[in-house]
Amino acid sequence: MECDDLFWYFERFFAAIPFLYDASGRIMNGTDRSRDGRGKGGGEAMEICPIDRARQMLVVETPDYASVRATLSMWEAAAGGWRREARVPAAIGRGGLTLLKREGDGRTPAGRFRMGTGFGAPPAPGGSWPYRVVDAHDYWIDDPQSDDYNTWVRYAGDPAARWKSFERLAIPPYRKAAVIRYNDEPIVKGRGSAIFFHVWSGPDAGSAGCVTAAEEHVVGVLEWMRPEAEPVMAIGTRQELVRLAPFAL
């Protein structure tokens, strides 16, 4: 059996096992796991950030694990529950969803993540969400051998001399974007990096692992998010989302 076939088999195997929650709030798949998400048998837990203080949630739903197409809905906490503010088309990684994210696999991690700073070209969107204008010196490092892995670095030198792999942030798809805080507490090398919410090339154009949408919708999200609301993004199929979202979809 080829390596790719083994990866596909084990991913579907783990996805089929009923979810259990560990004490840290991560979802486990039928094995004992430590707090950093690594199981004794070498498996990994889905990242699930707490939502006790979240008052805004972005929900990215796909029909199945192989689909590139998705829907993005914006939810706001209101008196007596949660209210859906909008629902728009979206897309994810060209390889679909995964519970076992690996660097370069082209898949979007399922789970629940805090939203990070917005970034891109000027002008900054309206609203109060932090936004950084990027230029030719802004990089996101996806070199698993580097201590800078999965971090944003400003560097005026030759990036190819410093890193084996990196992403330039001043590129057209990132003209309006936000960081999805995947694999950052702690950073595990090789587990995936540079997961963003950014402008798409179309509903059937899968990304390298990011969540994408039309530019007007990306801008709309950037203008909608508020720091005091501590927004999070939940990504998954309907099966995962009934566990990840605190409301009925």
Mean pLDDT in each 10-residue stretch from start to end of the chain (249 residues)?
42 37 33 29 69 96 98 95 97 97 98 98 98 99 99 99 98 99 97 99 97 99 99 95 88
pLDDT value of position 44 = 56
pLDDT value of position 189 = 98
pLDDT value of position 46 = 85
Instruction: Give Cα separations from 219 to 109, 169, 171, 198, 202 (angstroms).
Output: 23, 17, 16, 9, 16
pLDDT value of position 170 = 99
DSSP, residue by residue, 153-166: EE--S-HHHH-SSE
pLDDT value of position 10 = 37
Among residues 244, 245, 230, which one has the least CA distance to residue 84? 245
pTM of the prediction? 0.83
pLDDT value of position 38 = 30
Q: 3-state DSSP call for residue 215?
A: helix
CA distance 61 to 249: 10
Among residues 195, 194, 196, 198, which one has the least CA distance to residue 215? 198
pLDDT value of position 249 = 78
